Amino acid sequence: MKIAIYGSRRQDAHLAVLESFLRSLDEAGHEVVMHPKIYRYLMALMPTALKCVRRVLPDASEACADMALSIGGDGTFLRTAEWIGAAGTPIAGVNTGHLGYLTATGIGGLASLTAAFENGMLSTCTRSLIELCSPHVDIWPYALNEVALLKSETAAMINVAAAVDGVPLADYRVDGMLVSTPTGSTAYNLSVGGPIVQPTAPVWVLSPVAAHSLSMRPVVLNDSSVLTLTPSSRSPHVRLSLDGRGVTLDTGTQLSLRRAPFGVKMLQPRGYDFAATLREKLHWGED
């Protein structure tokens, strides 16, 4: 089996587990494709454990891996999704971070993940992505969590003209606007008062950041719609972020958002339940 591995470099507390896991992959005859960032980190600490690594790739979209492992927190999972791209490789998140909404397995379950995958003990859930269409954006134009349009750090508020399928919706006077997927509803969207959405719902959430009018409320849209956002401001620039990957845009740049033609396949233990995850992560029901 071919396994793609992406991970953060903050793994000092888990080095023994990672070394044992990598040695077990080699003993089992698995082939590993690894991102250069974690490869260099581990090579400096455990070079003899990396015999199973056959290729080190900055882009795994053509690696033809059977499964991918994301070792870190939710931010690491987002970067793993970018690394995999449109290849459709299912990703299992191993949580060594904090909340871990996207990482259903703890570090203690790492050793059993490959066997669970081979034995059909993991289920696959496809999460939707937002595609940003603009000739002015030269980063990976997809977001698993959210697209954020924000004012410059010291600038005045921005006005964002939003239209749905060409029909004007509202002019938002805000510090920023978020367009979140259901997956991203528990991320930035949640912190600005947006609703939590079941991950498989075919919707987006349009949420204002620090709206300058109480009538400007979050709106839930069908994700088959094309959403257009056009910012204006006294400042000549605004900030655009896709899952934390930021660029500066000229004020007045029109952005078109639509559902991406592919999704991210997430591997989860059978029996995984979104409601149970919310109770655990948000401490609902605790005294």
Residues annotated catalytic, as ranges: 74
Residues whose CB falls within 8 Å of the CB of residue 264, separated by 6 or more in sequence, listed in order: 81, 84, 91, 126, 127, 129, 144
CB 1 within 8 A of CB 118: yes
CA nearest 180: which of 126, 133, 221? Answer: 221
Instruction: Map residue 262 onto helix, strand or coil.
Output: coil
Looking at the DSSP assignment, which residues form a beta bridge with residue 257?
A: 132, 227
Return the C-alpha torsion angle 10, 96, 12, 2, nearest 10. Answer: -90
